[in-house]
């Protein structure tokens, strides 16, 4: 990859203009530089609800961090603060040397070019070809709106093919994205994030909509990519088992607070489950989502004649 | 907050029985009161307008007389007919294209998921409502004053007025798109334009095209009316012929318009179905025309995956369709006889032209006449909604395939609806003016017949969309078709029905302001006269009166729609 492909650094404050990683030493040597720093970050959604509550976290380059917690515990909110989709109510956030709170729109845009994002429901443009979907990952580095594969430079198209090859879907390049299976769509979404040449990859429950086999494939792919490029990955998950095998580090969130922050190697399964246990007495059914409760309300609120 | 919602008190899962007053939901009360007011108003208006069976029978002689004067129909030569039609179609095509383009941008500003700010959202929404409130006839009068004859006034008038509907439907459909792709483009660091074009446009395009086609259909019918104020094409030819009492020629042209309207309606309906449906079978047959193209290409000694999309039926079809639309639009510029020189001169004189319309006319005598005209207009809308609904609802029920399933019966009524929908209201008004004389009765009857087409279709569609499982459950208890209809289907469809009736009333108020142009009663007659004798201040006063009434009814229907939610 030539250096011209890397997006220009956002501001003078961004301390690492080149994403070419310094040779990352193995764990024993001096610690890897911090790429994400949360300093007493609080997000108040409304007077009653806090998305994040006094969160202070440092994440080092090349680390795979898994966020665990119930729905509504602040996992997505955390991720959305890293790439500036949401702004904190108080506290400081520093990503790749750039302060994210109160950053200007152009600064945020150029920061987002360096931060890939993977969604639970993939968010591919269904009627578009797979290849064009991958190309859209480069929009931030291109000028003007684009619709149609031929409006992307040849160089971008060829690199998109390379990324598709990396995720094993190059033979589907000219198929409509919505004709692929869920697991395949998530791989395309990963290729779309990779073509950004991100320094950080955020993944918001990337396997929550997938079956176990596809989940495993997607997680292994993320793991390989992170190791190859010493890419920092922050990933929210629901499955404790996957988290234990996938991450270097597990951060547990509950009601926006950090209740656990451990190296995966040093933590036991029971300890991880304790993230959930104080809320629900059913540790092996952590996905006790709010919607399940809402259904009960509806049933109880119905008049008897409406039930029949 | 969430905690109290999620965990209901377990002790009393069944709430205590509510009293009568508590069971009355405010929404239902509002809807019921408005519906009752429409019925009472409709009866009052019918009495005031002296619509009764006896006078209808009396006018039978007029009808026979009229038919005698109509035949034999005197058709213009095929070449002349084609030229007139092409001019009309060109104007309608360009007007629709103009509204599509302007609505596209307004919708981006108006939809909450793309709007860059609250201010732009409020302004664009206001412009859309305003465009809907000002009749195209009024705009045409203004633009003729500015640009003189030619196609341009008609294009601008219809194009701007159409924004009211097209812009609203565009914004609504944009808001229904799942925002994930837009967010995905945001996380790439894409700009607003890039997000909108790449994230939303591919998902929005089917609606853009289908609403445009629908509006083309409506504008074609509307263009006939604009002939009365001078917009060229077949409408103008018909207005001239009828104005000089050449009924043989005028009704022949009306017949041509009728046929073309029904053809276009069927064609645009088929196109819209094709866009939203899955054209699997045809595509497979066509696919054989395109040899399977390899995914691999060889450049020199390197074999690699191609980086250009292969030609498929879909891609070729999209290119051809775009090319065809482009060619048609260019041809239409010539067909519509757009005089760009006059347009430029007109724009330069814009302040002066607008000056003619101010200050508005405030002479008490004229004001009284305008109020009287407005009252008749409202009476026509009320009476035609009531009479039309009484006929249209049974017709819609019989046309729905799931109420009284009988292929022969349902198809007959469906065809009836399609044919009535195809007839421009103006042609109905012309016929009824001859049959029952000048005045409100003709307008009421014309709109009432039109209701059968519009409301009948809406009722039938809503009935077919109801949840059949509830009906099946009741039928499984041994209920007859009629019992199922009254105990289940009618309940399911009532909110939609109320909304449709409100929509029809809203629509009839707008139409009733215009049908006076052909003498079918109401304020349109005053409007046409004032613009003919160049009394522009009076035009301003009439337009303001129309605006007030239309906006009040619009507010009323928003109220009802909110209440039903």
- Give me the count of residues in chain B: 565
Q: Which one has a higher pLDDT value, B214 or B104? A: B104
- pLDDT for B40: 92
Q: Are A41 and A81 in contact (CB under 8 A)?
A: yes
Q: Give the closest-approach CA distance of A294 to chain B in angstroms.
A: 6
pLDDT range class, residue B286, cuts 50, 70, 90: low
CATH of the domain at B109: 1.10.3720.10
- pLDDT for B424: 83
Helix (H, G, I), strand (E, B) or coil at B263: helix
Same domain, B521 and B559: yes
- pLDDT for B359: 80
Query: Is the per-residue pLDDT at A296 higher than 50?
Result: no
Which residues 6+ apart lie within 8 Å of A221 measured at CB?
A167, A187, A190
Query: Is the per-residue pLDDT at A40 higher than 90?
Result: yes
Query: Is the per-residue pLDDT at A90 higher than 60?
Result: yes
The DSSP H or E segment spanning B242 is helix B234-243
How many structural domains are present in chain B? 2
Which residues of chain A neighbour B205 with C-beta distances below 8 Å? 127
Query: Is the per-residue pLDDT at B25 higher than 90?
Result: no
Render pLDDT for B131-144 as a digit per residue (tens, 0 to 9). 988 888 888 888 88
Mean pLDDT (whole number) for B354-361: 78
Q: Are B532 and B145 in contact (CB under 8 A)?
A: no
Same domain, B345 and B476: no
The last residue of one of the domains, among B293, B324, B356, is B356
Q: Which of residues 180-199 of A touch B (CB under 8 A)?
A: 189, 192, 196
The DSSP H or E segment spanning A200 is strand A200-204
Q: How far lies A79's CA from each of A15, A84, A95, B416, B521, in Å?
A: 22, 9, 12, 58, 65
Q: Which one has a higher pLDDT value, B281 or B198? A: B198
Residue B288 lies in a domain: no
Query: Is the per-residue pLDDT at B555 higher than 80?
Result: yes
CB contact under 8 A, A138 and B188: yes
* b/e code B479-511 from CB counts within 10 Å (16+ = b): beeeebbeebbeebbebbbbbbbbbbbbbbbbb
Cα–Cα distance, B565 to B561 (Å, whole number):
6
Query: Is the per-residue pLDDT at B282 higher than 80?
Result: no
Per DSSP, what are the bridge partners of residue A68? A252
Query: Is the per-residue pLDDT at A83 higher than 50?
Result: yes
- pLDDT for A209: 87
Q: Are B460 and B414 in contact (CB under 8 A)?
A: yes
Of B15, B183, B308, the CB nearest to A301: B15
CB contact under 8 A, A140 and B201: no
Q: Which of A96, A78, A132 is nearest to A231 (CA)?
A: A96
| Lowest model confidence (mean pLDDT) among A109-113, B44-48, B515-519 | B515-519
- pLDDT for B261: 87
- pLDDT for B225: 83
Query: Is the per-residue pLDDT at A15 higher than 80?
Result: no
CB contact under 8 A, B181 and A123: yes
Same domain, B386 and B477: yes
Residue B294 lies in a domain: no
Q: Give the closest-approach CA distance of A140 to chain B in angstroms.
A: 4
Residue of B nearest to A148 (CA): B198
* Class of residue A37 by CB neighbours under 10 A (exposed 0-12, middle 13-18, buried 19+): middle
Pure H helices in chain A: 75-82, 105-113, 130-135, 154-166, 182-194, 212-229, 240-246, 269-277, 290-301, 304-307
Same domain, B413 and B265: no
* b/e code B160-197 from CB counts within 10 Å (16+ = b): bbbbbbbbbbbbebbeebeebbbbbbbbbbbbeebbbb
Cα–Cα distance, A251 to A144 (Å, whole number):
39
pLDDT range class, residue B278, cuts 50, 70, 90: low
Same domain, B126 and B211: yes
Of B13, B183, B189, the CB nearest to A140: B189
Cα–Cα distance, B419 to B265 (Å, whole number):
10
CB contact under 8 A, B198 and A145: yes
Q: What is the bridge-based pairing of β-strands A34-44 and A90-95?
A: antiparallel
Q: Which of A158, A224, B284 is nearest to A216 (CA)?
A: A224
Q: Where in chain A is the domain with CATH 3.40.50.300?
A: 30-114+199-209+227-308
Q: Are A77 and A69 in contact (CB under 8 A)?
A: no
- pLDDT for A79: 94
Cα–Cα distance, B557 to B543 (Å, whole number):
21
Render pLDDT for B177-201 as a digit per residue (tens, 0 to 9). 888 899 999 998 899 999 999 999 9
Same domain, B256 and B211: yes
Interface check A289 vs B, CB under 8 A = no
Render pLDDT for B408-451 as a digit per residue (tens, 0 to 9). 999 999 989 988 887 888 888 888 888 887 888 888 999 999 99
CB contact under 8 A, A117 and B180: no
Same domain, B419 and B452: yes
CB contact under 8 A, B198 and A136: yes
Same domain, B151 and B180: yes
| Lowest model confidence (mean pLDDT) among A77-86, A126-135, B152-161, B259-268 | B259-268
Per DSSP, what are the bridge partners of residue A90? A42
Mean pLDDT (whole number) for B511-539: 83
Query: Is the per-residue pLDDT at A291 higher than 60?
Result: no
- pLDDT for B284: 60
What six digits make up the tokens of A15? 């301390």
- pLDDT for A286: 43
* Class of residue B352 by CB neighbours under 10 A (exposed 0-12, middle 13-18, buried 19+): exposed
ipTM confidence: 0.78
pLDDT range class, residue B290, cuts 50, 70, 90: low
Mean pLDDT (whole number) for A253-278: 85
The DSSP H or E segment spanning A37 is strand A34-44
Of B1, B202, B307, the CB nearest to A158: B307
Which residues of chain A neighbour B203 with C-beta distances below 8 Å? 125-127
CB contact under 8 A, A139 and B2: no
Render pLDDT for B454-497 as a digit per residue (tens, 0 to 9). 999 999 988 888 888 888 888 888 888 888 888 888 888 888 88
**Torsional sign, CA B339, B342, B348, B351:** negative
What six digits make up the tokens of A51? 């998305």
CB contact under 8 A, A49 and B1: yes
The last residue of one of the domains, among B356, B387, B417, is B356
Query: Is the per-residue pLDDT at A187 higher than 90?
Result: yes
Residue B64 lies in a domain: no
CB contact under 8 A, A48 and B5: no
Residue B296 lies in a domain: no
- If you average pLDDT over each of B111-125, B273-287, B302-316, which comes out highest? B111-125
Angle at B422 between CA B421 and CA B423, to 5 degrees: 95
Which residues of chain B neighbour A189 with C-beta distances below 8 Å? 184
Same domain, B351 and B373: no
Q: Which one has a higher pLDDT value, B405 or B394? A: B394
- pLDDT for B22: 57
**Choosing among A83, A115, A140, A185, which should be mutated to test the B contact, i.e. which has the most B CBs within 10 A?**
A140
Residue B20 lies in a domain: no
Residue B536 lies in a domain: yes
Mean pLDDT (whole number) for B73-79: 86
User: CB contacts < 8 Å between A and B, how many?
Assistant: 131
Of B7, B295, B304, the CB nearest to A293: B7
Q: What is the bridge-based pairing of β-strands B296-299 and A98-99?
A: unpaired
Q: Report the top-level CATH class of A30-114+199-209+227-308.
A: alpha beta
- Edge-first strand listing for the sheet containing A200-204: A115-118, A200-204, A232-236, A64-68, A249-254, A257-263
Same domain, B191 and B257: yes
Mean pLDDT (whole number) for A212-238: 91
CB contact under 8 A, A85 and B180: no
Which residues of chain B neighbour A131 with C-beta distances below 8 Å? 307, 309
**Torsional sign, CA A149, A150, A154, A155:** negative
Of B7, B184, B190, the CB nearest to A123: B184
- What is the rounded average pLDDT for all residues in chain B? 84
Which residues of chain B neighbour A84 with C-beta distances below 8 Å? none
Q: Which of residues 34-73 of A touch B (CB under 8 A)?
A: 48-49, 72
Cα–Cα distance, B103 to B173 (Å, whole number):
12
| Lowest model confidence (mean pLDDT) among A290-294, B192-196, B222-226, B231-235 | A290-294
Mean pLDDT (whole number) for A112-118: 93
Cα–Cα distance, A19 to A200 (Å, whole number):
10
Residue B557 lies in a domain: yes
Per DSSP, what are the bridge partners of residue B362? none
Interface check A14 vs B, CB under 8 A = no
Q: Give the closest-approach CA distance of B199 to chain A in angstroms.
A: 7
Residue of B nearest to A48 (CA): B1
Same domain, B209 and B339: yes
Interface check A308 vs B, CB under 8 A = no
Angle at B364 between CA B362 and CA B366, to 5 degrees: 80
Residue of B nearest to A293 (CA): B6
Q: How far lies A189's CA from each of A91, A134, A174, B187, B496, in Å?
A: 32, 7, 15, 12, 41
DSSP A233: E
pLDDT range class, residue B287, cuts 50, 70, 90: low
Mean pLDDT (whole number) for B315-322: 87
Cα–Cα distance, A166 to A191 (Å, whole number):
8
- pLDDT for A305: 39
Q: Are B232 and B87 in contact (CB under 8 A)?
A: yes
**Torsional sign, CA B405, B409, B415, B418:** negative
- pLDDT for B3: 41
- pLDDT for A222: 93
Angle at A235 between CA A202 and CA A252, to 5 degrees: 130
Q: Give the closest-approach CA distance of B8 to chain A in angstroms.
A: 6
- CA B20 from centroid of its chain's CA atoms: 40
Interface check A145 vs B, CB under 8 A = yes
Residue of A nearest to B203 (CA): A127
The last residue of one of the domains, among B298, B323, B356, is B356
Q: What is the DSSP string of B170-222?
A: HHHHHHTS-THHHHHHHHTT--HHHIIIIIIHHHHHHHHHHHHHHHHHHHHHH
Q: Are B391 and B452 in contact (CB under 8 A)?
A: yes
Of A49, A147, A192, the CB nearest to B201: A147
Same domain, B529 and B385: yes
The range of the structural domain enclosing residue B534 comes to: 35-58+366-564
Q: Which of residues 91-130 of A touch B (CB under 8 A)?
A: 109-113, 115-117, 119, 121-129
Render pLDDT for A91-105 as a digit per residue (tens, 0 to 9). 999 999 999 988 898
Mean pLDDT (whole number) for A58-82: 92
Mean pLDDT (whole number) for B366-388: 90
CB contact under 8 A, B2 and A49: yes
Cα–Cα distance, B485 to B471 (Å, whole number):
8
- pLDDT for B17: 55
CB contact under 8 A, B202 and A128: yes
Interface check A81 vs B, CB under 8 A = no
Mean pLDDT (whole number) for B170-182: 90
What six digits make up the tokens of B455? 């409301």
pLDDT range class, residue A7, cuts 50, 70, 90: very low
């Amino acid at each position: 990859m030539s250096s011209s492909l890397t997006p220009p650094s956002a501001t003078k404050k961004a301390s690492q203009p080149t994403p070419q990683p310094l040779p990352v030493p193995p764990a024993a040597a001096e610690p890897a530089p911090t790429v994400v720093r949360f300093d007493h970050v609080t997000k108040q959604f409304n007077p009653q609800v806090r998305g994040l509550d006094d969160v202070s976290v440092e994440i080092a380059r090349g680390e795979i961090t898994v966020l665990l917690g119930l729905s509504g515990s602040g996992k997505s909110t955390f991720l959305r603060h890293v790439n500036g989709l949401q702004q904190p109510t108080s506290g400081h956030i520093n990503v790749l040397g750039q302060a994210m709170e109160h950053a200007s729109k152009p600064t945020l845009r150029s920061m987002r070019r360096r931060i890939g994002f993977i969604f639970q429901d993939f968010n591919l443009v269904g009627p578009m070809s797979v290849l064009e979907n991958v190309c859209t990952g480069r929009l931030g580095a291109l000028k003007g709106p684009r619709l149609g594969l031929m409006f992307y430079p040849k160089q971008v198209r060829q690199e998109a093919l390379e990324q598709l090859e990396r995720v094993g879907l190059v033979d589907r390049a000219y198929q409509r994205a919505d004709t692929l299976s869920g697991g395949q769509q998530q791989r395309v979404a990963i290729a779309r994030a990779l073509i950004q040449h991100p320094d950080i990859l955020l993944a918001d429950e990337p396997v929550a909509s997938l079956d176990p086999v596809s989940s495993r494939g997607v997680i292994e792919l993320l793991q390989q990519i992170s190791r190859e490029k010493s890419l920092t990955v922050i990933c929210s998950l629901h499955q404790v088992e996957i988290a234990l095998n996938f991450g270097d580090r597990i951060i547990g969130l509950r009601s926006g607070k950090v209740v656990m922050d451990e190296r995966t190697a040093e933590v036991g399964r029971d300890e991880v489950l304790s993230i959930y246990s104080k809320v629900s007495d059913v540790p092996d059914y952590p996905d006790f989502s709010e919607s399940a409760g809402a259904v009960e309300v509806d049933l109880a609120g119905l008049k008897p004649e409406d039930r029949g | 907050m969430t905690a109290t919602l999620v965990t209901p008190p377990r002790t009393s899962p069944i709430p205590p029985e509510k009293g009568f007053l508590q069971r009355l939901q405010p929404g239902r009360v509002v809807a019921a009161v408005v519906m009752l007011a429409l019925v009472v108003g409709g009866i009052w208006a019918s009495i005031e307008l002296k619509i009764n069976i006896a006078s209808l029978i009396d006018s039978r002689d007029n009808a026979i007389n009229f038919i005698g004067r109509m035949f034999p129909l005197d058709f213009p030569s095929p070449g002349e007919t084609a030229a007139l039609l092409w001019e009309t179609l060109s104007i309608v095509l360009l007007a629709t294209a103009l509204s599509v383009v302007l609505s596209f941008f307004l919708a981006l500003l108006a939809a909450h998921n793309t709007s860059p700010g609250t201010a732009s959202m409020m302004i664009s929404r206001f412009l859309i409502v305003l465009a809907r409130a000002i009749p195209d006839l009024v705009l045409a009068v203004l633009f003729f004053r500015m640009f003189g004859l030619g196609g341009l006034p008609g294009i601008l008038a219809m194009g701007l007025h159409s924004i009211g509907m097209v812009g609203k439907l565009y914004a609504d459909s944009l808001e229904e798109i799942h925002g994930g792709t837009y967010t995905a483009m945001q996380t790439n660091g894409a700009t607003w334009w890039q997000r909108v074009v790449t994230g939303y446009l591919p998902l929005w395009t089917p609606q853009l095209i289908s609403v445009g086609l629908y509006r083309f259909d409506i504008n074609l019918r509307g263009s006939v009316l604009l002939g009365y104020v001078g917009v060229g094409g077949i409408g103008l030819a018909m207005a001239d012929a009828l104005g000089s009492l050449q009924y043989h020629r005028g009704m022949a042209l009306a017949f041509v318009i009728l046929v073309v309207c029904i053809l276009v309606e069927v064609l645009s309906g088929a196109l819209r179905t094709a866009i939203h449906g899955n054209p699997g079978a045809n595509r497979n047959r066509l696919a054989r025309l395109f040899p399977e193209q390899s995914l691999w290409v060889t450049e020199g000694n390197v074999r690699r995956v191609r980086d250009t999309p292969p030609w498929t039926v879909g891609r070729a079809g999209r290119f051809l369709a775009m090319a065809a639309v482009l060619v048609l639009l260019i041809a239409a510029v010539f067909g519509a006889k757009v005089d760009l020189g006059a347009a430029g001169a007109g724009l330069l004189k814009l302040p002066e032209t607008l000056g003619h319309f101010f200050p508005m006319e405030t002479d008490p005598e004229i004001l009284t006449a305008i109020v009287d005209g407005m009252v008749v207009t409202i009476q026509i809308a009320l009476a035609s909604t009531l009479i039309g609904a009484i006929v249209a609802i049974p017709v819609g029920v019989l046309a729905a395939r799931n109420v009284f399933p009988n292929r022969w019966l349902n198809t007959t009524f469906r065809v009836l609806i399609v044919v009535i929908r195809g007839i421009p209201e103006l042609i109905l008004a012309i016929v009824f003016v001859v049959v029952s004389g000048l005045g409100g009765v003709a307008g009421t009857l014309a709109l009432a017949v039109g209701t059968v087409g519009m409301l009948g279709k809406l009722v039938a569609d809503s009935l077919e969309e109801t949840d059949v499982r509830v009906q099946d459950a009741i039928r499984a208890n041994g209920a007859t078709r009629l019992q199922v209809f009254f105990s289940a289907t009618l309940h399911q469809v009532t909110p939609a029905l109320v909304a449709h009736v409100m929509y029809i009333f809203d629509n009839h108020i707008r139409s009733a302001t215009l049908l006076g142009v052909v003498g079918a009663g109401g304020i349109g007659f005053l409007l046409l006269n004032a613009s003919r004798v160049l009394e522009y201040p009076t035009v301003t006063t009439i337009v303001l009166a129309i605006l007030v009434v239309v906006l009040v009814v619009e507010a009323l229907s928003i109220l009802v729609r909110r209440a039903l939610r």
